[in-house]
Amino acid sequence: MDAKGILAGLAIWFSLAIAAFADDAQDYFNKADAEYRAGNWDGAIADFSKGIELRPDVPEAYLNRASAKAEKGDFDGAIQDYGKASDLRKNYPDAFFGRGRAKLYKGNAKSALVDLDRAIELRPDFAGAYYDRGSARYSNNDLDGALADYDKFVKFQPNNPFAYFGRGAARNAKGELAAAIADTTKAIELKADFAAAYKNRGSSYYNQHSFTNALADYRESFRIDSKDAYVSIFIYLTRARLNEKEPALMELQKSLENRKGVKPGDWPSRIGKFLAGESMEADLFAAAENPDEVKNQEQHCEAYFYAGSKRLIDGDKNAAIANFKKCLATNVKYFAEYQSATSELGFLERKN
């Protein structure tokens, strides 16, 4: 799975208490804090801003406004405010942590690492920073570093399902499938409605060729959260490997047609159309082209995996091997498709 999947749902944005001031700014800060805790991000941002106009020297106000901006998805604004909080209070671990997390959500994992390293240096017991640094390292293909940080997070928060979820993802990426299944099972025990954990455990089972178990987990993931198109895609692949290709295809088409709030012809839809035989390999590879270098590599990783999987389902093992090798050449180790291509090559090359 990708790093965004690891981050999803782990809410460590925070609203810190602001010391009382004998002026009108305090009224705005109190109101903003209540709005933040109620999930009214726009209201919180507006009132933090009014308070900041009156007291521009309060680092917690910038920190909290940054957190509200991040919750709203304004990561650029959040990064700016976290920086202001850091300027006002030197060696402020919360500011470095928040800015690192915002950068990570923006997809800038290398820059995020610098801030997260600093947060941990200033506060060695900063549990959330270890989790996010693990995710940043995961995104930078540093799987051993990611695993070490997730281990730390497990020790700090042994009852947090995300601790085992993150560590399981890193272990799956390293090919440690039994250990990955054990971790994601623990995550599910701690959080029964953890859709992403079912998806990840399904991927580990898929990579073991335990297709019946994989299908059960993908279905449970879809039941909890039907918005993830990749779960539908892997349900199709799994059913096809179980010799249920025709009903699987009908299910895939229905799932993709019922997606809401997506642009027509988005990338998952193009994958689905290809798997359904409505477009050719060349069309999929052309659609994978992207001016952003990272996105280009990631989409080609996916395209080669799905092309290889379709060839394998159709019985063309040599072409499947060629496509899986091209998938690995992208070096996008943090994607489920890369991990599954690695597994498939192992099975195919042992058979040959």
Looking at 191-316, list the stretches that DSSP marks H as alpha helix, in order from N- to C-terminal side: 195-208, 211-224, 229-241, 245-257, 267-275, 281-287, 293-313
Question: How much is the pTM?
Answer: 0.89
Counts of helices then strands in the chain (DSSP H, E): 20, 0
- 1-158 — its CATH code? 1.25.40.10
Enter the tokens of residue 64.
């909290």
Query: What residues contact 343, with CB distance under 8 A and at least 6 apart?
Result: 175, 206, 207, 208, 209
Q: What integer pLDDT is reported at residue 255 of this predicted model?
A: 87
Q: What integer pLDDT is reported at residue 346 of this predicted model?
A: 94
Sign of the torsion angle spanned by Cα atoms 29, 32, 34, 36: negative
Counting residues of the chain whose pLDDT is more than 70, the rounded percentage is 93
Residue 66's nearest CA partner among 53, 55, 52, 54 is 52
Q: What integer pLDDT is reported at residue 260 of this predicted model?
A: 75
Q: What integer pLDDT is reported at residue 21 of this predicted model?
A: 53
- Is residue 245 within 8 A of residue 313, CB to CB? The reply is yes
Enter the tokens of residue 86.
């850091």
User: Domain extents for the chain?
Assistant: 1-158
Q: How far apart are CA 166 and CA 186, in angstroms?
A: 11
Print pLDDT tens along the chain (352 aa): 454 455 444 444 555 555 555 468 888 988 988 998 899 999 999 999 999 999 999 999 999 999 999 999 999 999 999 999 999 999 999 999 999 999 999 989 999 999 999 999 999 999 999 999 999 999 999 999 999 999 999 999 999 999 999 999 999 999 999 999 999 999 999 999 999 999 999 999 999 999 999 999 999 999 999 989 999 999 999 999 999 999 999 999 888 888 777 777 899 999 999 999 999 999 999 999 999 999 999 999 999 999 999 999 999 999 999 999 999 999 999 999 999 999 999 999 876 6
Q: What are the φ and ψ backbone dihedral angles of 8, each rounded to 5 degrees?
A: -55, 130
pLDDT 10s digits, 51-62: 999 999 999 999
- Is residue 45 within 8 A of residue 34, CB to CB? The reply is no
Residue 342's nearest CA partner among 28, 169, 334, 36 is 334
Q: Please provide the DSSP assignment of 17-73 as one string.
A: -----SSTHHHHHHHHHHHHHTT-HHHHHHHHHHHHHH-TT-HHHHHHHHHHHHHHT
Q: What are the φ and ψ backbone dihedral angles of 289, each rounded to 5 degrees?
A: -65, 135
Q: What integer pLDDT is reported at residue 259 of this predicted model?
A: 79
Enter the tokens of residue 328.
């690995």
- Is residue 61 within 8 A of residue 29, CB to CB? The reply is yes
- Is residue 228 within 8 A of residue 219, CB to CB? The reply is no
- Is residue 28 within 8 A of residue 64, CB to CB? The reply is no
Q: What integer pLDDT is reported at residue 263 of this predicted model?
A: 79
- What one-character DSSP code corresponds to residue 332? -
